[in-house]
Amino acid sequence: MAISGILIHCLTDNLTAVEAQVQTMEEITTYGVHDDAYVVAVVESPSDQIERVIKRIEKIEGVLTIYTTYLTIEDEIDEDGNLTTSLSATKHMKMEPREDSR
């Protein structure tokens, strides 16, 4: 089971509705609102399903982006140090370079 802390950045007018919708997802526990812009939440899901959960959140009206604050997959590592799931940290955590707008 992976555990990931996330901040869901929302439009101010949609904060309450986004938080309510996220609270209905069984993989997620919410911890209120931060700075009138972010829903604070923790996702508990098999690591190979985290992306599916995030994509569901992204589709909610008013969600601007989702920031990962931490990710742990400790219980998905066998005694030899190998992942027991198909998660590729390199694939899922890679950031593509932005084009400079100057």
Sketch the domain layout of the chain as residue ranges: 2-74
For CA atoms 87, 90, 93, 99, give the dihedral sign: negative
Q: Can you tell me the distance from the alpha carbon of 18 to that of 20, in angstroms, rounded to the nearest whole number?
A: 5
pLDDT at 90 over 50: no
For residue range 26-60, list pLDDT tens digits in order. 999 999 999 999 999 999 998 888 889 999 999 99
Kindly state the tokens that stand for 47. Answer: 């690591």
pTM for this prediction:
0.75
Selection from 79, 80, 74, 54 nearest residue 65 by Cα: 54
The domain over range 2-74 is classified in CATH as 3.30.70.920: yes
pLDDT at 49: 87
Q: Can you tell me the distance from the alpha carbon of 10 to that of 50, in angstroms, rounded to the nearest whole number?
A: 20
